[in-house]
Every structure is written in C-alpha cells, then in structure tokens.
Amino acid sequence: MAAVIDTGVIQTAIGSFALGIDRLRRVESAFLYDLEGGVSGDDQSSLKMLPAYIDLPTGREEGDALALDFGGTNVRARLYHLENGTASIIGEAARPLRETDRENNICRDYTTAETSPEELFDFIADIVKEAVGGNTRKNYRLGWTFSFPARQERLDHAELITWAKEISVPGVEGQDVVRLLRKALDRCGLKNVTVKAVINDTIATLIAAAYSDDKVTAATIYGTGHNTGCREMYAGESGRSAQLINLESGGFSKLMQTAYDAEVDDRSERPGTQLLEKMVSGRYLGELFTNVVAAAVRGEPGEVPPDLESRLCFTAVDMSRLLAAGTVPEQFDVLAAKLAPVLGNGFSLGRAEIAALKGLAEAICRRSARLVAATLSAVIKHNSVAGEIKPQTIAFDGSVYANMPGVAPAVRSAMDELLGEDGKKIELCSLMEGSGFGAAIAALM
Ligand code: GLC
C-alpha cells in the first residue's frame, strides 16, 4: 500500500488553530498588559517598544531622496522625487538576497552565517549605486528602512539588537548598521550619498501613510515578517512629546502554541524568540502547514521518507494558490507535485484530501489574521485617551495582508468582534511599498 494522507489528523489540527472570541480577548489583554508594561519599562514585557527619533511628516516634504529598503527578502533602492504631495520614482534597482538561477549559474545567499558583513553591505551599496545610475558626484540624501529591531540614539544611527526572519550574518548584531553601510558606500565610491535617517519598516509605513492621511495612528507589516509601529500617546501625556514607537510586536510571547508551532520554533535560527511572528507571518505560515501535512502522512515503514518536512517544504505562496483555487483536482498541480514524490506513484489527490488541505490553509491563515487583529485592537485601546476611541486609520504593508485570500476580511471581522461599535471608527488601509516611500520622506524631514 502506498502512503496516504490521514485527513483525521488534519481535522484535529484545524481544531487546534481555532481562536474563538474568549481566547482572542485573552490575547488582546495580554498584549495590552505588555504594552503598558513596555511603556513603564517593565522588563517582563515581551515588547521591546523602541523609540524612533522622528515624528510624523507634515505632508509638505519635497525634493529628491533615495530610499533604501532592506527587510530580509529583497534589497530595493529607489530615487524618489517628491513635489506637491505626490511622488514619482526616477531611479530604481532591486535584487533578492537569496537567488538561484541555474541557467546563468547564479547561486547566492546573503543571509547565512557564511556571509561576512562586508559582503552583505557591499551587495546593498551596489544596489544603491545602480539606483542612482552610477552617479558619484551629485549629492543625495538617503533614508533607510532597516526592518529589524534596532536601538537608536538619534535618527542616523541604529544598533542592530538581533537579526530576525532567519537571517544569521555574523558580526552585525550590536553594531551601528549605518556605520557599516557608510563604509560600504565609501568602498564603492558613493561618498556623495548621505545617510540621513534609518527607520524600521513599521515607522516608514506610518510616515508614508501619514503623508496623505492625518488620521493614521499605527502601521502594521504583515508579510514575510510581522510587526506594528504606532504613535505612542501616553508618552505625550506624561510630559514628553508623543513619539513614534516600533513595538517589535513579532516578539510578543504570551501565546498558546500548538505542537506544530513549537516545531516551527524549535527548527528556527533562534528558538524561543519572535513567537507571534512565527505564528502569523509569511516566512513561517508554509512551515506550519508543512508540519501538519507531514504529521498526516501515513504509510508502512520505508514508504514515508524520513526527511518528509524538507521534501514537502510548502510556502505561503503555495497556500495562497491553494486558497485561491476552486475544488477541481487539476487546479492543485503545485500541491500534487510536492506530494507525489513522498506519497508514491499510485498517489492522486482526491476531493477529500483537497478539502482537508484547503481547510488547513484556511485555519492557519484565519488564526494568523485573528492574532494580528487582537494586537491591533490592544494598540487602539492603549492609545485611547480616557477610554475614548477616536476615528483613525491603521495602515498595512505586506504580502500576507495584500495577497493571502481571506486574511484582510478576517482581520477586519476580528477587530469588529473585539471593538464592538468602536470598530466602525477604524479604517484599515493597504499601502503596498509604503515602507520604501516612508524612508524617502524621512530623509527629507
Ligand atoms: C521582524 C523585525 C521587525 C520588522 C518585521 C517586519 O519582526 O524584527 O523589526 O518590522 O520583521 O519586517
């Protein structure tokens, strides 16, 4: 007998990913507790809450600025021209950090422990050079979106606390990344580029959204990674001026993990960290799905390969294709192509398996959306003055929010469940590429 998929295992896993309103409220209050603890400097809070040394823009920032976006998947540099509240792109270059191109014999990965800081930063500086067309004479202001937790003392300085999203280049943690970039820019002849600002992608998205919407109070990255930044109102009330804060909410840890989440965490570069991120973001959703499918594959000894997970290796993109497809078996080519080698020649994907796998993808994505919604509802409540929730906008950037079927509506409906009537005052807007644009604005502020 060939190996089969035990749909019972999948149904049980689906049940374990369900997050009813009671559990959702508990997540919301635990997050609220950590937000309040983070503000008062309680070291038990799992939120780093890093101040950003910049405020929201006026919307009148104008001129040319370079935006460099480095978030873990791609490096992108864009030369923006801002005038009269509108932006145009006049130069651009982008490359992925990991690339395999068999035809042209290219295989590179700038994210691993084998990469030196110089190699990584030279790669980044080269992309900046390409975006300005190799111009080493004209002066440029550069705003940098650096999407990792960083401690700042001023806007043009950022000390990387720890890598996230499975990057493990040694010798960068604890260093001022602006200094490393500066050296690489000098090495490639770009002495004409001045790094004016370095900001987290949540802060960049918040700034980009606030450029044209004065009701924006928070921005969430919901893609490869997950994190939220907001304008912290309490800081203002206690006498200091209001600040933009990068919550590093992906590190929120007061959560109930399933055995599948624990597996993802155990196999990650840094077990025990970024627990919320590992339950919700695109970098990990596919792995969660894979773990359940691997547990559901049954067969006689020798029929099921021992390295099942690494052979299956589903991604968030596979899940989104699965969710977007209908119910006809032929539409599940990718799924079948990954399953066939591990399930043997006699394998064919039947309607029952497809329904179970679709249900699983739905359950994982729905839990992800509801967890994100609970943290956002907590941010809104935390920033309400005297319990009154003002009409406001939350901006989203990232592929999971924008492209994963069902996610955006699930965030909306969970927020409405948690906020009741006040939910109507909250607008959720998608701002793709906001994080790059925000850096250009920051460089001109
Ligand atoms: C990770 C980083 C965080 C970033 C997020 C989204 O969680 O720690 O700084 O904002 O990914 O890119």
Q: Are residues 154 and 266 in the same domain?
A: no
**Span 404-429, mean pLDDT?**
97
**Which pairing describes strands 50-51 and 243-246: parallel, antiparallel, or unpaired?**
antiparallel
Q: What is the pLDDT of residues 188-225, one digit of tens each?
A: 999 999 999 999 999 999 999 999 899 999 999 999 99
The predicted pLDDT at position 444 comes to 96
Task: Report the CATH number at residue 329.
Answer: 3.40.367.20
CA of 25 relative to ligand 1 center, distance in Å: 24
What is the model's pLDDT at position 236? 47
> In this structure, are 23 and 111 located in the same domain?
no
Query: Is the residue at 206 inside a domain?
Result: no
172 class by beta-carbon count within 10 Å (0-12 exposed, 13-18 middle, 19+ buried): buried
pLDDT at position 327 is 63
**How large a percentage of the chain has pLDDT more than 90?**
75
Confidence of residue 99 (pLDDT cuts 50, 70, 90): confident
Query: Same structural domain for residues 29 and 175?
Result: no
Alpha-carbon span 427 to 26, nearest angstrom: 23
Does some domain include residue 207? no
103 domain residue, yes or no: yes
* Contact partners, residue 356, CB within 8 Å, separation at least 6: 5, 7, 10, 11, 296
* 173 vs 2, more confident: 173
Is residue 346 predicted with pLDDT exceeding 70? no
Per the structure, the complete domain to which residue 123 belongs is given by 63-200+433-444
CB of 277 shorter than 6 A to ligand 1:
yes
pLDDT digits (tens, 9 = 90+) for 103-120: 777 788 999 999 999 999
Instruction: State in Å: Cα 297 to ligand 1 middle.
Output: 34
- For ligand 1, whether the C-beta of 149 sits within 6 Å is yes
- With a 6 Å cutoff on the Cβ, whether 164 touches ligand 1 is yes
Examine the domain organization and report whether 121 and 196 are in the same domain: yes
Both 29 and 68 in one domain: the answer is no
Nearest protein CA to atom 2 of ligand 1, as residue: 148
Q: How far is the CA of 250 from the centre of ligand 1 (A)?
A: 7
Residue 79's SS3 state is strand
Q: How far apart are CA 443 and CA 194, in angstroms?
A: 9
How confident is residue 328, by pLDDT bands cut at 50, 70 and 90?
low
Out of 48-52, 292-296, 343-347, 425-429, pick the least confident. 343-347
pLDDT value of position 379: 97
Give the range among 96-100, 125-129, 261-265, 274-278 with minimum mean pLDDT. 96-100
Does residue 101 have a pLDDT over 80? no
Tell me the whole-structure pTM to 2 decimals.
Answer: 0.93
Closest CA to 16 of 288, 238, 254: 288
| Torsion angle of C-alpha atoms 178, 181, 185, 186, degrees rounded to 10 | 70
Shared domain for 76 and 24, answered yes or no, is no
User: What secondary structure does DSSP assign to 387-398, as a single string?
Assistant: TBPPPEEEEEES
The model's confidence at residue 338, banded by pLDDT at 50, 70 and 90, is confident
Asked whether residue 86 carries a pLDDT value surpassing 80, the answer given is yes
Q: How far apart are CA 205 and CA 211, in angstroms?
A: 10
Residues 249 and 172 in one domain: no
Q: Give the model confidence (pLDDT) of 125-160 as tens digits.
A: 999 999 999 999 999 999 999 999 999 999 999 999
Residue 326 shares a structural domain with residue 425: yes
Same domain, 295 and 424: yes
Q: What is the pLDDT of residue 363?
A: 98
pLDDT value at 278 more than 90: yes
| Domain annotation covers residue 422 | yes
Q: Give the mutation target among 228, 248, 400 for probing the ligand 1 site: most ligand atoms within 8 A of CB.
A: 248
Split at pLDDT 50, 70, 90, the class of 385 is: confident
Q: How far apart are CA 10 and CA 443, in angstroms?
A: 49
Ligand 1 binding pocket mutation candidate from 75, 152, 160, 200 (most atoms within 8 A of CB): 200
CA of 226 to the centre of ligand 1 (A): 6
Which residue CA neighbors atom 3 of ligand 1 most closely? 148
Alpha helices in 68-196 (DSSP H): 117-131, 177-187
Nearest CA to ligand 1 atom 11: 225
In a domain, 423, yes or no: yes
Q: What percent of the chain shows pLDDT beyond 70? A: 95
106 shares its domain with 157: yes
**408 touches 372 (CB < 8 A):** no
Say what the pLDDT of residue 393 is. 97
For 348, the token pair is 């064919």
CATH classification at residue 140: 3.30.420.40
The verdict on residue 41 lying in a domain is yes
Whether the per-residue pLDDT at 359 is higher than 60: the answer is yes
Q: Tell me the per-residue pLDDT of 259-270, one tens digit each, with 9 for 90 and over.
A: 999 999 999 989
Asked if residue 227 has its Cβ within 6 Å of ligand 1, the reply is yes
Q: Is residue 183 located within the same domain as residue 238?
A: no
Tell me the average pLDDT across 401-430.
97
pLDDT tens digits for range 220-251: 999 999 999 999 865 545 555 678 999 999 99
Average pLDDT over residues 309-334: 80
Q: State the distance from the centre of ligand 1 to the C-alpha of 120, rounded, in angstroms.
A: 18
pLDDT at 329: 60
The answer as to whether 53 is a domain residue is no
In this structure, the answer to whether residues 423 and 437 fall within a common structural domain is no
- Tell me how many helices (H) and strands (E) the chain has: 16, 17
Domains held by the chain: number: 2
Residue 43 lies in a domain: yes
CA–CA distance, 258 with 360 (Å, rounded to integer): 14
